[in-house]
């Protein structure tokens, strides 16, 4: 969050450089006396800071007068070369817009949330006569009921499996559902009631769906009680097979209820946050509680400055955290956020229901917050220990490759293909905080002029696409993270191609290193190639060598995985998809009539015409497709 527009004790006054002073004074004269958001940009066009204010004029005047809370803010203002102001209808809207800009632009001087991965949810689809239960990520653009977030893939998979055991809901796609003529394996192992083949009526299946929804909304006791009555009735009627099936369902529900139950009165739905800051670093631990159950948690390590107070950190973090996530009615925290009432108003407006942010002082809610705080302390301790070791390794990398400073962003590139087919380039990203998997990128090689297996040509295409986009974004004034070091899987030839592409794009300030495997592809015998230097090796027991091997292996794993996925998709392609005029309906009819694409290929024009929806012209087109020779 940003500073108030009123004077605050402890502010210091410092003279601004002439260029910054004139700029800020000019902006102050033109700034409106209205709420809004301001952005400060540096000489290279990168965003330095995003702030919100109840009065843009008063806020900018404070900067013009050199009244700063810290020397760090003074430095930020001195580096400012342009400002942009956006007026909003209220301070509440300004707060929401501020969070959006911070998340998009990643300004250098703001508290910044990192590692913002999306969370998985469970979804019961409501746009089909037999609703499907499945995992979901992203926007809620499919009609249905959404439950989450789940903090880990394991947690959502575990709950999904339990729902299948307890409620026998289908998880198959609509296309599979429509083409089933007999129950699948999931029905055989008692994970699905097989509505696809009519083994359960749609009315009875709808009852199962409603029970699953009730369970996920926290009414587990009601559901289990009703199932117990059903089991007893079946037992009284000597229908022991049905009673045993219902008993197994009750066991599955009871198991997940006991595993995830929350011992806190009145906490049916809440997100619990705990902040622990130490040594200029911070950890925010979050746990999700839904339907009276703990659906897991995750630790975050936001970028902070040692001058940031705990209330400012947690307020900034919450604003960015909920910028693209559903907001619960209750948020618990061990720290009272800065501008709490404003934050509550903004969240309530966005969520369209009342949102309360509370710092509990006693009872079960306090125990939840204390549990999160313990996890935050332990996670930050582990992180600081890891960072200390990583810092030493990065210092060695810096020395080995003659870098001016410790690399903050390292990009590693590798290609994968089989005799040139399904070629994929892979890019992984690493830094002081480890692998940054949310920034990995794959490049499906699509150069039509490439000779199959041309590794040099593949690397040229990858470099042009990656750094061509970077240059374009920089020219457009967008925030871009530049790598400090490129590691290329290959020797002098690969490195030369990379350097040539960078030179063509005018990128001459990024260090590139070729990493060639040893003569027998032995780890430890890698040769390193840099422009203007003879090939060299690192000491066998060097931590930097071991670190680079890990990076290279991760790039290799990622590229191979992307290649395998592309190859698998290529194998499962149906030739009928390539024929003009054959859509899903006709494709289904052809496969039903002839059993497979091969069967369609062997059919005569006369046989093809007999298929519903296939006329003479289309039959000839299909026949010609399979008999081109």
Looking at 24-78, which runs of residues are DSSP E strands?
A: 36-41, 47-53, 67-68
Do the Cβ atoms of 410 and 440 come closer than 8 Å?
no
d(CA 230, CA 234): 6
Is CATH 3.40.1440.10 what the domain over 12-105 is classified as, yes or no?
yes
* Least confident among 20-29, 30-39, 175-184: 20-29
pLDDT at 255 over 80: no
Round the average pLDDT of the chain to a whole number and report it. 83
pLDDT at residue 627, rounded to an integer: 82
Measure CA 366 to chain center.
Answer: 30
* Least confident among 208-212, 214-218, 270-274, 413-417: 214-218
Which residues partner with 418 through β-bridges? Answer: 421
Residue ranges per domain, the chain?
12-105, 120-260, 271-284+298-317+327-382, 410-570, 575-626
pLDDT at 399 over 60: yes
CATH code that applies to domain 410-570? 3.30.420.340
- Residue 599, both tokens: 């069967």
pLDDT at residue 115, rounded to an integer: 66
pLDDT at residue 496, rounded to an integer: 93
482 vs 114, residue with greater confidence: 482
Write out pLDDT tens, residues 479-537.
788 899 999 998 899 999 999 999 999 888 899 999 998 665 555 678 999 998 999 99
d(CA 373, CA 546): 35
Write out pLDDT tens, residues 147-197.
878 777 777 787 787 777 778 888 888 888 888 888 888 888 878 889 998
Cis peptide before 149 (omega within 30 of 0): yes
Write out pLDDT tens, residues 322-355.
988 888 899 999 999 999 999 999 999 988 899 9
pLDDT at 549 over 80: yes
| CATH homologous superfamily, domain 575-626 | 5' to 3' exonuclease, C-terminal subdomain (1.10.150.20)
Looking at 173-303, which runs of residues are DSSP E strands?
A: 270-278, 281-290, 293-300
Measure CA 477 to chain center.
Answer: 24
Do the Cβ atoms of 414 and 425 come closer than 8 Å?
yes
Write out pLDDT tens, residues 448-461.
666 666 788 889 99
Q: Would you place residue 587 in the very low, low, confident or very high pLDDT band (cuts 50, 70, 90)?
A: confident
Do the Cβ atoms of 38 and 23 come closer than 8 Å?
no
Q: Which helix (DSSP H) or strand (DSSP E) does residue 501 occupy?
A: helix 492-504
pLDDT at residue 419, rounded to an integer: 61
Task: Report CA-CA distances (Å) from 384 to 283, 301, 375, 546.
Answer: 10, 11, 14, 21
- Residues 313, 319, 324, 325: what is their CA dihedral angle, to the nearest 10 degrees? 80
- Residue 617, both tokens: 């012209």
d(CA 573, CA 207): 38
pLDDT at 1 over 60: no
Do the Cβ atoms of 528 and 537 come closer than 8 Å?
yes
Do the Cβ atoms of 172 and 131 come closer than 8 Å?
no
pLDDT at 15 over 60: no
DSSP alpha helix (H) spans, 439-478:
455-475
Nearest to 218 by CA among 169, 253, 177: 253
Nearest to 444 by CA among 469, 464, 461, 467: 461
pLDDT at residue 418, rounded to an integer: 67
Per DSSP, the three-state class of 86 is: strand
pLDDT at residue 372, rounded to an integer: 92
Q: Would you place residue 570 in the very low, low, confident or very high pLDDT band (cuts 50, 70, 90)?
A: low
Rounded to two decimals, the pTM is: 0.61
Q: Would you place residue 6 in the very low, low, confident or very high pLDDT band (cuts 50, 70, 90)?
A: very low
* Residues recorded for the chain: 629
């Amino acid at each position: 969050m940003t500073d108030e527009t009123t004077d605050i004790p402890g502010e210091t006054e410092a003279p601004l450089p002439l260029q910054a002073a004139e700029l800020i004074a000019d902006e102050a004269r033109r700034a409106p006396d209205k709420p809004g958001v301001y952005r400060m940009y540096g000489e290279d066009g990168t965003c330095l800071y995003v702030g919100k204010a109840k009065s843009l004029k008063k806020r900018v005047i404070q900067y013009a007068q050199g009244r700063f809370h810290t020397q760090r803010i003074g430095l930020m203002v001195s580096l400012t070369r342009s400002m942009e102001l956006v007026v909003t209808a209220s301070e509440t809207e300004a707060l929401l817009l501020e969070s959006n800009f911070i998340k998009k632009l990643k300004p250098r001087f703001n508290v910044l949330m990192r590692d913002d991965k999306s969370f998985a949810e469970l979804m019961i689809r409501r746009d089909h006569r037999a609703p499907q239960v499945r995992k979901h990520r992203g926007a809620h653009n499919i009609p249905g009921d959404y439950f989450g977030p789940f903090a880990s893939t394991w947690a959502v998979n575990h709950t999904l499996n339990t729902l299948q055991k307890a409620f026998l809901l289908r998880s198959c796609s609509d296309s599979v559902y429509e083409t089933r003529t007999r129950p699948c394996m999931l029905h055989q192992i008692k994970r699905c009631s097989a509505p696809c083949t009519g083994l359960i009526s749609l009315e009875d299946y709808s009852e199962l769906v409603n029970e699953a929804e009730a369970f996920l909304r926290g009414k587990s006791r009601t559901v289990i009680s009703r199932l117990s009555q059903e089991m007893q009735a079946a037992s009284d009627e000597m229908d022991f097979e049905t009673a045993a099936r219902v008993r197994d369902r009750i066991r599955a529900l009871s198991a997940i209820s006991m595993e995830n139950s929350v011992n806190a009165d009145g906490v049916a739905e809440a997100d619990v946050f705990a902040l622990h800051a130490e040594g200029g670093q911070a950890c925010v631990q979050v746990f999700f509680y839904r339907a009276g159950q703990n659906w897991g948690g995750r630790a975050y390590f936001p970028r902070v400055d040692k001058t940031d107070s705990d209330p400012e950190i947690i307020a900034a973090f919450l604003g960015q955290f909920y910028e693209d996530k559903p907001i619960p009615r209750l948020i618990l925290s061990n720290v009272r956020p800065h501008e709490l009432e404003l934050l509550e108003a903004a969240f309530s407006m966005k969520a369209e229901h009342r949102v309360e942010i509370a710092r509990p002082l006693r009872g079960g809610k306090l125990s939840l917050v204390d549990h999160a705080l313990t996890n935050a302390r332990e996670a930050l301790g582990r992180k600081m220990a890891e960072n200390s070791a990583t810092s030493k390794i990065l210092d060695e990398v810096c020395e080995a490759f003659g870098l001016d400073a410790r690399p903050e962003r390292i990009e590693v590139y590798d290609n994968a293909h089989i005799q040139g087919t399904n070629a994929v380039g892979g890019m992984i990203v690493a830094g002081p905080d480890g692998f940054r998997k949310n920034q990995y990128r794959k490049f499906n090689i699509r150069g039509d002029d490439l000779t199959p297996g041309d590794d040099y040509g593949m690397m040229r295409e990858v470099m042009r696409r990656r750094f061509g986009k970077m240059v374009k974004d920089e020219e457009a004034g967008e925030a871009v993270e530049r790598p400090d070091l490129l590691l290329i899987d290959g020797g002098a030839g690969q490195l030369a191609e990379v350097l040539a592409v960078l030179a063509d794009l005018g990128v001459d300030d990024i260090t590139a290193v070729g990493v060639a495997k040893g003569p027998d592809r032995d780890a430890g015998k890698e040769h390193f190639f840099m422009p203007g230097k003879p090939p060299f090796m690192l000491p066998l027991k060097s931590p930097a060598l071991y670190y680079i091997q890990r990076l290279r292996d991760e790039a290799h794993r990622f590229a191979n995985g992307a290649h395998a996925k592309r190859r698998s998709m290529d194998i499962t392609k149906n030739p009928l998809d390539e024929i003009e005029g054959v859509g899903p309906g006709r494709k289904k009819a052809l496969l039903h009539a002839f059993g497979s694409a091969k069967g369609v290929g062997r059919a005569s024009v006369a046989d093809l015409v007999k298929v519903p929806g296939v006329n003479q012209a289309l039959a000839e087109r299909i026949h010609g497709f399979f008999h081109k020779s």
